Amino acid sequence: MNEQLLDTLVDQVVAKINQERGFLVEASGRHIHLSQEHIDELFGKDYQLSINNYLSQPGQFASKERLTILGPKGALHNVVVLGPPRKASQVEISATDALTLGGKVPVRESGDIEGTPGIVLINGNKVVSLEQGLIVAKRHIHVAAKDASKMNVSQGDIVKVKVVSEQRSLIFDDVVIRVSDKFVTAMHIDYDEANACSFKKGIRGFIVK
Last residue in a domain, options 137, 165, 192: 137
Q: Specify the amino acid at residue 44.
A: G
- Closest of 147, 206, 138, 203 to residue 179, by C-alpha: 147
Task: Please tell me the distance from the alpha carbon of residue 195 to that of residue 197, in angstroms, as a whole number.
Answer: 5
Give the up-direction half-sphere exposure of residue 59: CA atoms within 13 A in the CB hemisphere: 6
**Residues in contact with 24: Cβ distance below 8 Å, sequence separation at least 6, in sequence order:** 56, 185, 186, 187, 202, 203, 204, 205
Q: Residue 43 is part of which domain span? A: 29-137
The answer to whether residue 165 is domain-embedded is yes
pLDDT tens per residue, the chain (209 residues)? 566 666 566 555 545 544 556 999 999 999 999 999 999 999 999 999 999 999 999 999 999 999 999 999 999 999 999 999 999 999 999 999 999 999 899 999 999 999 999 999 999 999 999 999 999 999 999 999 999 999 999 999 999 999 999 889 999 999 999 999 999 999 999 999 999 999 999 999 999 96
Instruction: Please state whether the peptide bond connecting residue 58 to the residue before it is cis, i.e. omega within 30 degrees of 0.
Output: no
What pTM, to 2 d.p., does this model score? 0.87
Task: Please tell me the distance from the alpha carbon of residue 142 to that of residue 149, in angstroms, as a whole number.
Answer: 14
Provide the number of structural domains found in the chain: 2
Q: Which helix (DSSP H) or strand (DSSP E) does residue 14 occupy?
A: helix 3-21
Last residue in a domain, options 98, 117, 137: 137
